[in-house]
Structure 1
Amino acid sequence: MIKVPEILTGMTPDPVDQARRLAYDRFPDALAVILAGSTAAGRATASSDLDIAVLIGDGGETCRETIRFEGRVVELFIHTRAGLVDLFAADIAARRAVLQSMYATGLILIDTNGEARRARALAEADLRKGPPPLEPETVETKRYGLTDALDDLADTGDHIERLAVAGFVLSAAADLLCDYQHAWIGGGKWLPRRLLQADAELGAALLEAHLHLCKSGDPGPMVNAASGILNLVGGPLREGYRRTWRGVIESVATASGR
């Protein structure tokens, strides 16, 4: 029987099947291959990329690579055993646990001698432990930066500037709330997901307030929502703030968001 090409049938290739073909075609000797992201969660669309973690032998190279396979963009996270340990440690230090989440929740495509299951157990242990808390000095600096941004949000009459400041307020307040709740942080589409996981009530209030500001230009609800989060970690901080630089000197904009 002649196989009709999928492109001619109008059918979209199954992304999980594509991931399996890529795994066995490109990484036949892999110790473990994990499909993560929206595809593993069953939320993939025709344009979704494939997020794939690949554990290889110790003689290989730890790297990240973006390719296109059968018309679909693929993000490859390739690592040796030692590389995986280093990447797990880096993700913990960044308080994001991206790779841990991939291993803990992804779909196992290849599991040589139980390597994927062992890596999954390590990832799950990291996720259960949670991120390291921010240092008190760092929390203080973030409080100062958010306080300053809230003043700008209330004061500026320029709609475009207000939107820009609101983006900073959302990120800064989410960071402080996640730290307060001992929860992992996220960026991009993972910011609202991690924020709601950290605190469903306060997280939703902040996100709804940001949406309200973007639609109406009214900063009031966002000022209130972010101020509530500030109060959890010591309240607004203006006068009395003092920062001493040690080691690498960062821009003053790091503290203030300017």
Structure 2
Amino acid sequence: MNPDLIDQARRLVSERFPNALAAVLAGSAATGRATASSDLDIAVLIGDGGETCRETVRFEGRIVEFFVHTHAGLAELFAADVAGRRAVMQSMYATGLVLVDSDGHAERARGRAVADLLDGPPALNRETIETRRYGLTDALADLADTGDRIERLAVAGTVLNAAADLLCDYHRAWVGSGKWLPRRLLEADAELGTALLDGHRHLCEMNDPTPLYDAAEHVLGLAGGPLSEGYRRAWRGVIESTTAGR
């Protein structure tokens, strides 16, 4: 953990939010994984009447992402992150470094965050799982059929995301995207998660889809197996993604 980054974050919070009820430094700066170009992720709890928002600024040459919220705003963000099965704000409060804690506000927020994380995300409903199964079945067929390297790489990303979503749901584990996809995937299932990630890397390096196909097919089996003929969905005014697009 870099004490210079922590001091920098404290200076900025003191300057921008002198009346903050709580402030938490999260992300790589709080876990000791920050690089010279890493930004600072800071959650700030402010009093009622303020605005819940996200804001990006530059401070002393470094990009800073502010996640600002009132009590009501934080409750809404927690609820939205549970519904979305992401727990972004919960992770920030549960694992972040407390910079400001007026009258225990930060610790109470941390307690609610930890409770949400322990409860886990809501399970996908049967219809959504069927749609995910259908999408992964279709993507695996494309992965096996296409001989074009560029197309195969594109389909591989779809397969990885769809399989990760189903595997996380199987274990009632939180999902992630971007760099958080492999982190959450390995937290959910170290063995199968590794197989998916290694299979994806192997395809990218060797143009061989077999390991990724096999790992994703295993995940599909845990979720109920392939689904193609017999799948049907009524039009509801929107087109629901058949994969894990979020």
TM-score, with normalisation over the residues of structure 1?
Answer: 0.92
The match for 1:154 among 144, 148, 172 is 144
The answer to whether structure 1 residue 193 and structure 2 residue 183 are counterparts is yes
Aligned length, in residue pairs:
243
Contact 2:54–2:68 under 8 Å retained in 1:
yes
The match for 1:209 among 186, 195, 199 is 199
Whole-Å Cα distance in 1 between the matches of residues 7 and 243 of structure 2? 48
Identity among equivalent pairs (%): 70
Distance 1:256 1:35, change over 3 A: closer
Residue 173 (1) aligns with residue 163 (2): yes
Work out the CA distance in 1 between the residues paired with 2:118 and 2:154.
35
Q: Find 2:208's aligned residue among 198, 205, 218.
A: 218
- In 2: Cα distance, 1:177 partner to 1:110 partner: 37
* Counterpart residue number, 1:255: 242
- Does residue 82 in structure 1 map to residue 72 in structure 2? yes
Q: Matched residues in 1 for 2:117 and 2:20: separation?
A: 25
SS of match in other structure, 1:255: coil
Tell me which of 83, 91, 96 is aligned to 1:93: 83
Give the distance between the partners of 1:114 and 1:105, measured in 2 at CA: 16
Deviation at 1:222, TM superposition (A): 0.7
| Aligned partners of 1:148 and 1:238 also within 8 Å | yes
Deviation at 1:256, TM superposition (A): 6.3
What TM-score comes out, normalization by structure 2 length? 0.96
Q: 1:33 aligns with which of 20, 23, 40?
A: 23
In the alignment, is the contact (CA less than 8 A) between 1:97 and 1:127 conserved in 2? yes
Give per-residue Cα distances to partners, 1:28-75, cap 9 Å, x unaligned. 100000000000001111100000000000010000000000000000
CA RMSD of aligned residues (A): 1.3
Alpha-carbon distance between aligned partners in 2 of 1:20 and 1:233, rounded to the nearest angstrom:
46
Read off the aligned partner of 1:55 and give its amino acid letter: L
Q: 1:14 is paired with a residue of what secondary structure?
A: helix
1:6-45 paired onto structure 2 within 5 Å: 14-45=4-35
Structure 1 segments unaligned to the other structure (5+ residues): 1-11
- Decide whether the 8 Å contact of 1:148 with 1:256 is kept in 2: no
Per the TM alignment, residue 242 of structure 1 is displaced from its structure 2 partner at its CA by: 1.1
AA aligned opposite 2:120: G
Residue 245 of structure 1: how far off its partner (Å):
2.7
Instruction: Report the secondary structure of 2:242's partner residue.
Output: helix
Listed as ranges, the gaps of 5+ residues in structure 2 are none
Separation of aligned partners in 2, 1:127 and 1:13: 28
Q: Which runs of 4+ in 1 moved over 3 A?
A: none
Cα separation, 1, equivalents of 2:176 and 2:243: 21
Shift of 1:128: 0.4
CA distance 1:256–1:55, shift in 2 (3 Å): closer
Structure 1 residue 249: deviation in Å? 2.3
Name 2:104's counterpart in structure 1.
114
> Which of structures 1 and 2 has the bigger CA Rg?
1
Alpha-carbon distance in 2 for matches of 1:118, 1:93: 21
**In 1: Cα distance, 2:109 partner to 2:103 partner:** 12
